[in-house]
Chains A and B, each alone.
Chain A
């Protein structure tokens, strides 16, 4: 039994089921990120934990106590909203102290707490302003400050950074991570940004269509995606997914891939389990950083295979150059070192790290190996 337990929880609006049976157990001090595309049910699940939405069936428990029928205010949670939800008619001070006031905390104690939080988030000079007079980043801080006064069991964040510009978003991300390390509070964090998910979390739940597609550490989710959706959703640029056929050539099980010039390339599998799928069509998944120029290949890998393929496009991106080619009729992105001399139209040797390759069933989209 975990600190926060989501047991078989579902949510329906009338006949529409927006969240299917979900089981997640969160340990104390964990940073769980719910990630997925728009409309997949992330906010719904978060609101169910907060008590803002009823649970249709199943249970949600915090510290072993069922939260069914418990009011949001009595769950000992704090929440930061996407729009920050600062009370427009109150000053920053009023915003931060409102919750404590509602919980009957005496004025001197409230003042002490406000000062403490203001110092932690460096918002002392803003305390007497109205939310309308703050910048986006400052509002974000105040919203966090309001949540911090509660000493909650669980912090809930609903896309807290999505209204900030790119630079500020990265800064605040770091701050949230630091805050988590400092306070050690359990956090459930919703985002549709997979980078935020990977950098912040101790565990990720990837959601899609009302289902949790995969629950695991960032590394697990990134390296061992459970299905094609997770593979394509996590990582940027996203994983290359292209059709291939499993062949057996003199005892070597390999994926045979058609290149754009009509030639066939053979990529031997590392895992022995693929022998069972001989002759089948599969979808091969290889991340851009596992397709490199020869010198950029991972030296620790024992399964680098060179494939000569025509270069279709190059995109210098500063630290790397992204190179596009075509395999199995799909556009493939490879990640080259920045100073590799390569141009569109060349035939160029691509170094493919087959240790990092994964295979999916094209029909069920589930992982084969």
Chain B
């Protein structure tokens, strides 16, 4: 990891201060160029966000008159209000709110259950491995790589048979099935590095299967749980295909509703409302990254170093 530049430049090879003048410039130059390039990349990546934010805060007239890139001259949060509660989504003028709630009701249980099951699987696969456990792990991994499109029709049939078709519970189930391979993979690799002697010590202390899991393993699982949660949350929240395939009007997730909002053909296209809606749809994942992001990197590193 690069250290912050200090007033006195230490050349790594000798550890002595660099002589002043031209050679100082020579040592600084690569870094300056590097920062310029990085800054350009930053701008490049942030530009779309900028466009979305400014346009969601101006009246429609300012956009249609061609001022896409300029700051709003007449600031307004009205597009946000409209996107949230009054905009036409599909056939009804409900705004995105009910669908946002649908998404929340889908993503929270799906992430929670998938993470807990993944942790349990990882625990069993590493600390209570049984004949055939490697095979089961292999199959779970295989499940990670099955393309979504392939399971659409069988899954639709399954959901129908289970009476979950067109419901939020059905979506939770689908995401759980898809997520469990990944969460198991994460936790299995993490727990493989967890000392087995601790489990044995707890066994001798008289702790049972679940007590060991809850009292010994879980408290040390923070980093990997965060990684798993971010991964699952992002994927499930952003999923469009399953949402579009398996939901009814009243169980559509945010992504599908956003599409409907943008595609609504009645009247003029309210770009400012669309921008506001798109940001709304992206906010939760952004929030999860900001809150848990540092752990994300840390967790990935911990996993990779400890194997």
Contact = CB atoms under 8 A, between A and B. Distances in A.
Interface of A: 47, 50, 52, 71-73, 77-79, 81-83, 85, 87-89, 98-99, 102-103, 146
B202 interface: yes
Contacts of B206: 73, 99, 102-103
Contact of B197 (A77, A83, A89): A83
A79 B195 contact: no
B220 A85 contact: no
Given A83-B195, A85-B198, A98 B205 contact: yes
Contact of A73 (B198, B204, B215, B216): B204
B190 to A, nearest CB: 14
B15 interface: no
Contacts, number: 55
B201 A81 contact: yes
A79 B216 CA distance: 17
B211 interface: yes
Contact of A72 (B197, B204, B215): B204
B85 interface: no
B207 interface: yes
A7 B100 CA distance: 67
A324 B89 CA distance: 95
A72 B195 contact: no
A143 B203 CA distance: 15
A115 to B, nearest CB: 19
Nearest to A80: B201
Interface of B: 195, 197-198, 200-207, 211, 215-216, 219-220
A73 B195 CA distance: 19
A88 B194 CA distance: 11
Q: Chain B's interface: helix, strand, loop or mixed, by majority?
A: helix
A85 B207 contact: no
Contacts of B215: 87, 98
Contacts of A146: 201, 205
Given A81-B197, A85-B195, A87-B198, A50 B220 contact: no
A102 B219 contact: no
Contacts of A81: 197, 200-201
B155 to A, nearest CB: 39
B201 A79 contact: yes
A15 to B, nearest CB: 14
Nearest to A158: B197
A230 B239 CA distance: 67
A340 B178 CA distance: 80
Could you say which of B200, B215, B219 has the most chain A C-beta atoms within 10 Å of its C-beta? B200
A88 B204 CA distance: 17
B202 A79 contact: no
Contacts of B205: 73, 98-99, 102, 146
- Tell me which of B195, B201, B216, B220 has the highest count of chain A C-beta atoms within 10 A of its own C-beta: B201
- Counting from the closest, the 10 A-B pairs by CB-CB distance are A73-B206, A102-B206, A99-B205, A89-B219, A85-B201, A85-B197, A81-B197, A72-B204, A72-B203, A85-B198
A15 B123 CA distance: 27
6 contacts: A50-B200, A79-B204, A85-B198, A87-B198, A89-B220, A103-B206
B279 to A, nearest CB: 39
A99 B211 CA distance: 12
Contacts of B202: 87, 98
A79 B205 CA distance: 9
Nearest to B195: A83
Contacts of B195: 83, 85
Contacts of A50: 200, 204
A81 to B, nearest CB: 5
B207 A98 contact: yes
Contacts of B207: 73, 98, 102
Contacts of A98: 202, 205, 207, 215
A82 B197 CA distance: 9
A239 to B, nearest CB: 35
A81 B201 CA distance: 8
Contacts of B197: 81-83, 85
A89 B220 CA distance: 7
Contacts of B201: 79, 81, 85, 87, 146
A47 B202 CA distance: 14
B198 to A, nearest CB: 5
